[in-house]
A = this chain, B = another copy of it.
C-alpha cells in the first residue's frame, strides 16, 4: 500500500491537488489533499511539487521488427525498459502477418518474442500483410478471443506489406462488423516507388532523397483515399498512423467535421524535426532520421499545423512509431542507396518528455499533454479504464513528473539499444521522476527497480470512441 501524497493530479480535464492511494496493483482511491489515511501500513511517496499523471501509453512501437533484411534493434526487453525510464507504462506493439502467412501464426510469434521479457505492460495490434478470406476470418477470432482489436494495413510498400484498395475495403467491411479499428499507413506506395526509382537513376542517393521521393501530396492522397474507402465500408473506424503533413491533416479534419469515425496520431519527430535539418544532415548522417512517413520541410507549415491539430483534437494521439536501428551496420545498409536504409527512428523513451516540452513552450495545455500521451490512446484502443487515467480501480500505472528538473537527451544516457540518438542534445524543462507500474515502483530518479517479466500482456476491448 502506497500513498502518493502532496502532488498535483493531472488528467484530461485539468489539474487538481490530490493524494492517490495504491493497494496492490490497483489505484484504490483518490483523495482531496490530506484527506487520505493518516497512518497505517503504507508507504508514503512524496509528490510535492510534482505532477501525478497516468503512465504513458505508447500505441505504436516495433520491437524486434524484421525490416529490410535486419531487425529493429530493441528487443521487448531493452525497449520496454527504455519505455519505463521515459514514463511509458504500456506499449502496443505490432504482431506481423506477412503475405501468405497465417495471421494467428504471426500473433503467436510475437507473443513468443514478448512473453516474459517485458518490463511494462504490453498489447498487440495485428498487421495484415495479406487480406484474403482466411485473414478476414482471423480478424473475428482475434477480436473475440485474443484481445486484439485493431488491424494495420499499408497503402505503401508494394510487394511487402501493401494491400490494394479492394483488400483494404474488405478488411474495413470486416472491421465495421466486428467493431475493430483499422489503422492505416497512408502513403501511395506505387507512386512513391516510381519517384524512388527515378531519383536513384538520377544519382540522387543521399538520405534526404528518402524525403523528397515521399512528397506530402502522396501522404495526403492516401489519407484521403483511406477516408473515402472507410465511408464505403459504412464509416468503418479508421486511425491514420504517423501523420506528418499539413495537407494530410486537412483530410482528417474535414472528415471529422463531417462526424466521421476518423482519427489520427502524430509522433514527436514530426513535431520537432525537419527534412532539411535532420534528414538533410551532411553526408550519410541523415540516415538516422529516415522514417516513413518522412520528416517534412521546415519551409512549410507542417510542425505548426501538427501542434494545432493536437490542440484541436484533429490529432488525437501522440505515439512514437519506435522502430530503432543502429547507425553502424543497420542504417549503413543504405550507403549509396537511400532506399536501402532501414526505416525507423527510436524514441519510445522520450515521448512523455518531448510532449511536456510543448506544454512549457505554450503549445499544449497540461490537460492535453496527459490526454494525448495516455488517456486517449488507452480509450482509443480499448484499454480504458484499466490504463490511461488516475482513477480508483485502474491499474496503478503512475508517473511523478517533475517540472522543476531537467532532462538532457543523449546516446550517453538513454536506455534504448541504439548507437545514436535521434534527439541528441535536446533539453527538456521537466523530468520523469518516479514510475510506478501496476503498483510497483520501477523507476526512481535515475535508478531502475524493474525487471523483465514484470510486464504483462493486456487483452484489449473495442475502442471507446465509437457510438
Chain A residues in the interface with B (C-beta under 8 A) = 11-19, 23, 26-33, 35-36, 164-170, 188, 190-191, 193-195, 215, 217-218, 220-221, 224-225, 228-229, 231-232, 250, 253-254, 256-259, 308-309, 311-314, 362-365, 367, 375, 379, 384-385, 388-389, 391-394, 464, 467
Bound Cα distance from A391 to B14, whole angstroms: 11
> What residues on B are CB-neighbors of A250 within 8 Å?
257
Q: Are B392's CB and A18's CB within 8 A? A: yes
Can you sample 27 A-B contacts with CB below 8 Å?
Answer: A11-B13, A12-B13, A13-B379, A14-B379, A15-B385, A16-B385, A16-B394, A18-B392, A27-B32, A28-B35, A29-B30, A29-B32, A29-B35, A30-B391, A33-B393, A165-B190, A166-B193, A169-B191, A191-B229, A217-B229, A218-B232, A224-B224, A257-B312, A259-B308, A259-B309, A259-B311, A364-B467
From the candidates B16, B28, B169, B365, name the one contacting A31 in the complex (CB within 8 A): B28
- Given A221-B228, A364-B467, 7 more pairs with CB closer than 8 A: A13-B388, A18-B392, A18-B393, A169-B195, A191-B232, A250-B257, A259-B312
Q: Are A253's CB and B259's CB within 8 A? A: no
Bound Cα distance from A18 to B23, whole angstroms: 15
Q: Are A392's CB and B16's CB within 8 A? A: yes
- Min C-beta distance of A112 to chain B, whole Å: 33
- Min C-beta distance of A380 to chain B, whole Å: 12
- The list of the 6 closest CB pairs from A to B, nearest first, reads A259-B308, A221-B228, A166-B190, A32-B392, A32-B393, A29-B31
Bound Cα distance from A351 to B169, whole angstroms: 37
> What residues on B are CB-neighbors of A224 within 8 Å?
221, 224-225, 228
> What residues on B are CB-neighbors of A23 within 8 Å?
35
- Min C-beta distance of A42 to chain B, whole Å: 13
From the candidates B14, B35, B257, B363, name the one contacting A314 in the complex (CB within 8 A): B257
> What residues on B are CB-neighbors of A388 within 8 Å?
13
The residue in A13, A33, A167, A220 that gathers the most chain B C-beta atoms within 10 A of its C-beta is A13
> What residues on B are CB-neighbors of A367 within 8 Å?
464
- Min C-beta distance of A443 to chain B, whole Å: 25
Q: Are A228's CB and B217's CB within 8 A? A: yes
> What residues on B are CB-neighbors of A165 within 8 Å?
188, 190-191
> What residues on B are CB-neighbors of A170 within 8 Å?
194
Bound Cα distance from A406 to B167, whole angstroms: 47
Q: Are A467's CB and B363's CB within 8 A? A: yes
